[in-house]
Amino acid sequence: MIPNWLVQRAYLTPEKIALTFKEEQWTFQQLVGEAKLLAQKLHTNGLVSGNRIALLGPSNEKMVFIIHACMLLGVEVVMLNSRLTEKELKWQIEDSDAVAVIVSDDLAGLIKESSIRKLTFSSIGESEEKSFDVEDTWELDQTITIMYTSGTTGFPKGVRQTANNHTSSALSSVLNLGLDENDVWLCTMPLFHISGFSILVRSVIYGMEVRLYDKFDAVKVTNDIQNGAVTRISVVSVTLDNILREFEQNGTVAHPSFKTMLAGGGPVPIDYLERASRCKLPVLQTYGMTETSSQTATLSAADAMRKIGSAGKPLFFNQIKINGAQQPNENGEVYIRGPHVTSGYIGRFSDQNPLVDDWLPTGDIGYFDDEGYLYIVDRRSDLIISGGENIYPAEIENVLAAHPHIREVGVCGKDSALWGSVPIAFVVASEQVRVEDLRLYCEERLARYKVPAEFRIVNKLPRNASNKLLRRELREWADLS
């Protein structure tokens, strides 16, 4: 049994600030009031406990109210990515077997081709209220959300995330990061993504304020961190770099009350971590995925500088093994086990068991050092095998990211008649840079077979909604010439 998060939190700390969006704030008591009102209106529209709906909206206060309303009503929520195409959204909606789509008015045009019933935010707001019995507790295996994997390879999978999955993830995180009554988590991650949604979960379980942004703004984020308005934030490499540039340009450092910059979405370049240290920004690398309801391993603050580049150790309830590895520092596929791991998929992949002997194969390559700290090397699918040698794109990206004139970099493999495959680097430059200079820079720092065969200067890199680099698209770019 798990208590209904928001109901329990509003009972325990009703007057504490739950949410800040722009110039407005809501206490937990006000938040549960807004959510109950919307839940009653959803009930008027025929939704009942056990239904599955799809939700498409922006990261604003109305989206938060709708999410909590659905949880109060006992409705499973398929979180739709607003940056997908109409075709992609249509596929996910149909695959999910949702009974309706709840959609913000401004995004309704994205699903106009879908035949499924549509409930806009405005139509819900205009509906009458119909009372219902709020479930004070949930079963451990009750599905709360469904999120589709990013689909970087093949079809995206609809991942079931249960009350136990989310709760276990939040509890594991707080046992590692700690909690202060004045903590405020700055959320710039999209709410439809596990990184954003998990912040909402932590808020109601911890009794912690969320300062919500509708989109990432490096200047505003930096001001909030400098001024002591927030204590924690979740980032990925590209947003971390943007924040660092603001700090460096201003010649400032983080407020002493700032505790954690939780960095996920893939390995963070070592250069970024060293720059962050100079700005007094405690960056803790974390490792997780949609199938694990966010974090599985996170580096502790005490080890942040001693173990630069590590994702830390598994969180309290979690287990990780390197499949096939016989000793420390030996690469292998990362396997995960714990109460935060999904029990399965829906739709097209509902018959597929995600587990192998109770372990989740992640498709990521990593290793443990001799002290048991996890290092993620790269995605197994991104591995480049050149002349029989294994090349991990992240290693090359780490080197190039430290170049003073490079803002972003992405590396992928390209077919080669001679070597089988060779690395290609796509570079977003902050200042004019010559390809030959980049080649010499790499030759000084990498084995010759790891030096990119080509350097291509581009205006931007392909990324998904959570700013994760899409190497699949890079490979398509590489094949164009």
pLDDT tens digits for range 87-104:
889 999 999 999 999 999
Determine the Cα–Cα distance for residues 72 and 70; give it in Å rounded to an integer: 5
- Tell which of 348, 380, 412 closes a domain: 380
Domain coverage including residue 84: 2-138
Give the residue-averaged pLDDT of 374-378.
88
Tokens 């540039």 appear where?
Answer: 245
Per-residue confidence at 191, pLDDT binned at 50, 70, 90? Answer: very high
* 130 lies in the same domain as 254: no
Claim to verify: residue 354 and residue 455 sit in the same structural domain: no
The verdict on residue 302 lying in a domain is yes
Answer whether residue 361 is part of any domain.
yes
Q: Please give the average per-residue pLDDT across 289-297, as a whole number.
A: 95
| Whether residue 303 sits in one domain with residue 229 | yes
pLDDT score for 302? 77
Q: Is residue 254 domain-shared with residue 369, that is, in the same domain? A: yes
Is 335 within 8 Å of 362 (Cβ atoms)?
yes
Same domain, 202 and 261: yes
What's residue 153's pLDDT? 45
The CA-to-CA distance between both ends of the chain, in Å, stands at: 57
Assigned token pair, 384 = 């480049």
Cα 345 to the chain's mean position, in Å? 18
Q: Does residue 445 register a pLDDT over 70? A: yes
Contacts of 140 (CB under 8 A, 6+ apart): 1, 2, 162, 163, 164
In a domain, 155, yes or no: no
The answer to whether 335 touches 320, Cβ cutoff 8 Å, is yes
Q: 191 in a domain, yes or no? A: yes
Q: Is residue 146 part of a domain?
A: no
Token pair in block for residue 402: 């430290």
On whether both 116 and 23 belong to a single domain, the answer is yes
pLDDT at position 480: 73
Tokens of 462: 């392909």
**Same-domain check for residues 10 and 62:** yes
Which has the higher per-residue pLDDT, 358 or 264?
358
Two tokens, residue 240: 């971390």
Query: So what's the pLDDT on residue 419?
Result: 83
Residue 344 within a domain: yes
How much is the mean pLDDT over the chain?
Answer: 93
Contact (CB, 8 A) for 310 and 299: yes
Is pLDDT larger for residue 154 or for residue 179? 179
Whether 387 and 354 share a structural domain: no
Dihedral Cα 122, 127, 131, 133, nearest 10 deg: -30
In a domain, 159, yes or no: no
Instruction: Specify the higher pLDDT residue, 25 or 268.
Output: 25
| Per-residue pLDDT at 417 exceeds 50 | yes
Domain containing residue 230: CATH number: 3.40.50.12780
Cβ burial, residue 456 (10 Å; 0-12/13-18/19+): middle
Query: Which CATH number is 391's domain given?
Result: 3.30.300.30
pLDDT in tens, 119-177: 999 999 999 999 999 989 999 999 999 999 865 445 789 999 999 999 999 999 999 99
386-414 pLDDT per residue, tens:
877 778 788 899 899 999 999 999 999 98
Distance CA 344, CA 180 (A): 35
Distance CA 411, CA 394 (A): 7
Question: Quick one: 39 and 130 in the same domain?
Answer: yes
| Per-residue model confidence (pLDDT) at position 149 | 85
Is residue 72 in a domain?
Answer: yes
**pLDDT above 90: residue 379:** no
Any idea which residue has 């009653």 for tokens? Answer: 40
Instruction: Give tens-digit pLDDT for 325-353.
Output: 999 999 999 999 999 999 999 999 999 99
22 and 109 in a single domain? The answer is yes
Are 234 and 264 contained in the same domain? yes
**% of the chain exceeding 90 in pLDDT:** 77
Mark 295-324 as b/e (b = at least 16 C-beta within 10 Å): bbbbbeeeebeebeebbbbbbeebebebee
Query: Can you give the pLDDT at residue 468?
Result: 79
Same domain, 304 and 370: yes
State which of 138, 173, 189 marks the end of a domain. Answer: 138
Which residues are CB-contacts of 72 (< 8 A; sequence separation ≥ 6)? 4, 6, 7, 32, 35, 36, 39, 134
Domain count, the chain: 3
Task: Express as a percent the part of the chain with pLDDT over 70.
Answer: 99
pLDDT digits (tens, 9 = 90+) for 207-219: 999 999 999 999 9
Predicted local distance difference test score (pLDDT) of residue 481: 61
